[in-house]
Chain A
Amino acid sequence: MVNLRLNLKQDELKCENCGAKLSEDEIYVREINSKEHYFCCSHCADKYEARFKEADRSSCC
């Protein structure tokens, strides 16, 4: 029998706007373009979504 051998990189959930580490006390999820995005608060989600929409507009023109 073998003991558990790990060589894995941990991937932490972070706010997609400000980069803050997310916890059960500070997590907010919003669906943007049919994909769930994770933020620390609704304000960060608003900022991210505004940037996302701006980038979307500029890429189509």
Chain B
Amino acid sequence: MEDLVIIGYGAAGFAALIRANQLGIKPVVVGYGEIGGTCVNVGCVPSKRMLRIGELYNNSSKIVGKKLFPEFFQAFQDKAEIVNSLRKEKYEDVINSYDVKLIIGKAHFISPNAIKVNGETIEAKKFIIATGSSPNVPNIKGLTEVGFWTNVEALSPDKTISSLAIIGGRALALEFAQMYKRLGVDTIILQRSERILPDWEPEISLSVKNYLEKNDNIPIFTNVRVKEVRKGNGGKIVVTDKGEVEADEILLATGRKPNVEMNLDAAGIELNDKGGIKVNEELRTSNPNVYAAGDVIGGPMLEALAGRQGSIAAENAIMNVKRKIDMSSVPQVVFIEPNVAKVGLTALEAMKEGYDIDHRVVKMNNIAKARILREDYGLIKMVIDKKFRNILGVQMFGKYAAEVINEAALAVKFRATIDDLIDTIHVFPTMAESLRIVALAFTSDVSKMSCCV
């Protein structure tokens, strides 16, 4: 009998196998598809490289005063080089440097303590499921017949296009809309909810919408129900309750679903209401010897969180130390340019949790560094507990927000107050000063302040 079987070799699976080795356990790792999972192959790494290429050309366009676009396939080739090198260095070479038994194949449970893979039965004392997620494909009339892209095809297109209709209005939709727009492709966003980024602060949603419409010239339609997809006159037509749009291609950005097809019933493993594997705070499933980590549990699908969950699941599985992750300080970013970033609770979420809150919003044109960069679009919003003045949540739309939010995550994690932020000297001029300035806004009018106060 094996000590530990890890199913999946993406972010969570790798973190689990590394931690297992550090704890003196040689795990069996079972995986299929490209090693490294979604993030390095068809997620964060390629999409952020494509966005970076677009950012460079957009900046160059501003300098020369005319629109410049990269050569379509050359841009994707550049992306492929980054993906291939990172996959080799961070996954293929890494797994070779650890003591694991790697099996390539698709596993399914045959009992509470055994899986079958490639016809071989493997029994183990403990299991960690880290099988990730896949694009969710909604049931839309005509969609299968007409065809569509997901993030996978959109990151490795087999044809050039001049127009792209994107169904969805969350992180993936916004990132691909800007990415393709800056490749010279006209894009449009069709969002079912009343606003894009519906789980974010409403000020952020509207600020981002205005920016993308005015600065990137991306039309955004909200409160739209897609009724049907059909072939058009050379393109594909999306029929909605608000009218029609025709484009070369359709991109589905309608969320992701956990990969749970592995006969979980045989192991007594239950699912949650999001279709993911049900776990407690220690990442233990309804089978006490099976843990789950990463996208497969159906929570926030974030690379860094998946990695941390993989490590924690390994520690809990091997040592039964009952470790938990502080979910209140998990930051999230939409990597459009400028970035959109958040950590902690929105004002509405905080009120629903029973907090008596206060909040402030400061526009980026109050931040000296944003003015110096001539990138002063956007805003920062901070939510605090009125009684104790500790920071409950921060959301920011602005230059380098993805970097700034890490400080906000520390502030939320360690229950820092606005006074802690004000008392901490921040480098002038930096975008991170926006955190201190929004903290100052609770007691002062920041529009009537000198640069350093």
Contacts and interface: CB of A to CB of B under 8 A. Distances in A.
Contacts of A3: 162-163, 186
Nearest to A10: B221
Given A22-B206, A24-B379, A8 B243 contact: yes
Counting chain B CB atoms within 10 Å of each CB, which of A3, A6, A24, A28 scores highest? A24
A1 B162 contact: yes
A11 B245 contact: no
Given A1-B248, A2-B232, A11 B202 contact: no
Contact of A24 (B203, B233, B235, B243): B203
Counting chain A CB atoms within 10 Å of each CB, which of B206, B243, B348, B379 scores highest? B206
Contact of B202 (A8, A9, A27): A27
Contacts of B234: 1-2
Contact of A13 (B160, B194, B224, B352): B194
A33 interface: no
Nearest to A9: B242
A2 B163 CA distance: 7
B246 A5 contact: yes
B150 interface: no
B206 A23 contact: yes
Contacts of A24: 203-204, 206-207, 210, 379
Nearest to B190: A8
Interface string A1-39: 111111111110100000000111101111100001010
A4 B206 contact: no
A8 B210 contact: no
B352 A8 contact: no
A5 B235 contact: yes
B383 to A, nearest CB: 13
Contacts of B328: none
Interface residues of A, number: 23
B188 interface: yes
B195 interface: yes
Given A24-B210, A27-B203, A29-B202, A11 B242 contact: yes
Contacts of A2: 162-163, 232-235, 246-248
B281 interface: no
A14 to B, nearest CB: 10
Interface string B322-353: 00000000000000000000000001100010
Contacts of A23: 206, 210
Interface in B205-253: 206-207, 210, 219, 221-224, 232-235, 240, 242-248
A6 B219 contact: yes
B245 A4 contact: yes
B262 interface: no
A1 B161 contact: yes
A61 B364 CA distance: 51
Contact of B245 (A7, A30, A31): A7
A54 to B, nearest CB: 22
Given A22-B202, A27-B202, 10 more contacts: A2-B233, A4-B186, A4-B187, A4-B246, A8-B242, A8-B244, A11-B223, A31-B348, A36-B348, A38-B202
Interface of B: 160-163, 165, 186-188, 194-195, 202-204, 206-207, 210, 219, 221-224, 232-235, 240, 242-248, 347-348, 352, 379
